[in-house]
Amino acid sequence: MDETPTRAQDPAASSRSGPGGFRWLLVGGGLLLQFSIGAVYAWSVFGGALEDAESWQLSKVRASLPFTVTIGMIFIGSYLGGRLQDARGPRVVALAGGVVYGVGILLAGLTNGSDDYWLLILGYGVVSGFGLGFAYIVPIAMLQKWFPDKTGLITGLAVGGFGFGAVLTSPVAQWLIDRDPDDPTGAFIPLGIAYLVMSLVGASIFRNPPADYVVPGMETTGGAATGAGRDYTQGEALRTPQWYLLTAILTLSVSAGISLISQAKLSATDIAGVSVTGAATLVGVLAIFNGAGRIVWAGISDRIGRMRTFAAILALQGVCLIVLPHAGSVALFSVLAAVIYLCYGGTFGTMPATAGDFFGVRNAGAIYGLMLVGWSLGGVIGPVLASALIGEDKAYTLAYTTIGVVALASVALTFVTKVPEGRHAEHD
């Protein structure tokens, strides 16, 4: 049953109807959940350890595959989670996603060498990836209904925790790995327990706004803006070219940013000469920009428009990727990587609000959940292309130049993507 109360069922709802404490408490819960599942972006710390560990000694491609499978599974989880949360409410879906994600990480922690590679793929890749997607879509869709007056900012905050997940995880994971370098996956046991606790605590307070929820100063009821045009169903959205154009923009932007993210630690050591420990720290610092980009670019998109924002994001990623292999100094490498991470995060902070502008928020879970196929596609294309082009010869110039040119060419899509008729175009 849907967890959306009415005011009669929930006497406290009136105190939460406008800008007030409870909806901001929900933001906190969403950030906690997203922080736990966003630790996936610390994978490059584990990938490097799996290449070096005597019991694993994986190739670059095999070491990146668990992360690639995780990102590939996100779409399946987000598609099902989005549809279920629209029908059943956010709490039960987010709790289930958090449990599945935590169990997958713990399964990965049971591996003990290359003979258990299949279990690493199953646990970290398939199981945790599904749980991640199942939980990820929930706070995005839920908070858009609570904050129709702050769509760009709030969707940036809703996914900001996800981007910040690797900030703490990267150095902690490196510390755990350094305690037993030949068993790097042992670090997944304490991390999995911590992720499980954080996600369950955060998701436990989730709920949709009351059916007659009103934000003062807006013609908004039931979590849907009545003044912005009709709300599309998932089927109606899929019959528009705009859904496919937005998904293409998401796919191409994700491919660009994640190509570096999947190789961040090794790129820092090979290109700029950063030490192994320093590179792990840098990955954690860069995650700050991933998280900040979700908030910063989402806020910018409220001011300059969604498509102008995506044009800037794609262009900056393209230029920085082309220059990155030639960044021999630590400072220049760090600045370029920070901009790429900032833009990558901005993609996820801006796209939910864009989908809401184009199709409405009433069915945001199903529509944006399905759109996240672009995340999975980009999450496979970027790392696979980067690792294949870099290869054992460390051909970073070939890899990042190729991906950077594709990102620059993708800017053209932003000029042909317009809000559908029937929706106001104030953010196009």
Task: Report the percentage of the chain scoring pLDDT > 70.
Answer: 90
The pLDDT of residue 86 is above 60: yes
Whole-Å CA distances, 34 to 71, 116, 134, 414: 15, 29, 12, 28
Q: Is the pLDDT of residue 71 over 60?
A: yes
**In 3D, which of 22, 188, 167 has the Cα closest to residue 106?**
188
Which pLDDT tens digit goes with each residue over 175-201?
999 888 889 999 999 999 999 999 999
Answer whether residue 156 shows pLDDT above 50.
yes
Considering the domain boundaries, does residue 5 fall inside one?
Answer: no
Domain assignment of residue 280, yes or no: yes
Q: Is 7 helix (H, G, I), strand (E, B) or coil?
A: coil
Looking only at Cα atoms, what is the longest distance across the chain?
A: 67
Is the pLDDT at 6 greater than 50? The verdict is: no
Mean pLDDT of 323-347: 94
Between CA 282 and CA 330 the distance in angstroms is 10
Report CA torsion sign: 215, 361, 140, 415. negative
Q: Give the pLDDT of residue 320.
A: 97
First CA to last CA distance, the chain: 36
* Residue range of the domain that includes 30: 11-416
* Of residues 90, 92, 93, 89, the one with CA closest to residue 130: 93
Tell which phi-psi region holds residue 85, choosing left (phi > 0), alpha (psi between -120 and 50) or beta: alpha
- With a cut of 60, say whether residue 81 has pLDDT above it: yes
Is residue 425 included in any domain, yes or no? Answer: no
How confident is the model at residue 333, as a pLDDT?
Answer: 94
- The owner of tokens 């979700």 is 294
Q: From the CA atom positions of the chain, what is the Rg in Å?
A: 21
Asked whether residue 159 carries a pLDDT value surpassing 90, the answer given is no
Residue 283 lies in a domain: yes
220 strand-pairing partners: 225
Residue whose pair of structure tokens reads 């399964």 in the numeric block: 107
**What is the overall mean pLDDT for the chain?**
85
| Contacts for 19 with CB less than 8 Å, ≥ 6 apart | 149, 215, 216
pLDDT at 343 over 90: yes
Measured CA angle at 94 (ends 92, 96), to 5 deg? 70
Q: Which residues share a beta bridge with 174? A: none
> Taking a C-beta distance cutoff of 8 angstroms, is the pair 120, 408 a contact?
no
The predicted model scores a pTM of 0.76
In which element (H, E) is residue 133 found? helix 128-146
Q: What is the pLDDT of residue 369?
A: 83
Q: CA 414 to CA 300: how far, in whole Å?
A: 16
User: pLDDT per residue over 13-28, tens digit each?
Assistant: 443 444 457 888 898 8
Q: What does the pLDDT average to over 126-146?
A: 89
The CATH number for 319's domain is 1.20.1250.20
Residue 350 lies in a domain: yes
**Residue 199 covered by a domain:** yes
Highest mean pLDDT (candidates 39-53, 81-95, 309-323): 309-323
SS3 214: coil
Residue 124 lies in a domain: yes
pLDDT band of residue 118 (cuts 50, 70, 90) is very high
Q: What is the pLDDT of residue 218?
A: 59
The average pLDDT across 330-345 equals: 95
Residue 94 falls within a domain, yes or no?
yes
Whether 263 has a pLDDT exceeding 50, the answer reads: yes
Number of domains into which the chain is organized: 1
Report the pLDDT value the prediction gives residue 228, as an integer from 0 to 100: 56
Report how far apart, in Å, the C-alpha atoms of 175 and of each of 76, 106, 163 are: 33, 18, 21
Spatial CA neighbour of 98 closest among 178, 32, 44, 49: 32
Higher pLDDT, 263 or 223: 263
CB 151 within 8 A of CB 26: no
Q: Look at residue 50 and tell me whether its pLDDT is greater than 50.
A: yes
Using 50, 70 and 90 to split pLDDT, how confident is the model at 226? Answer: very low
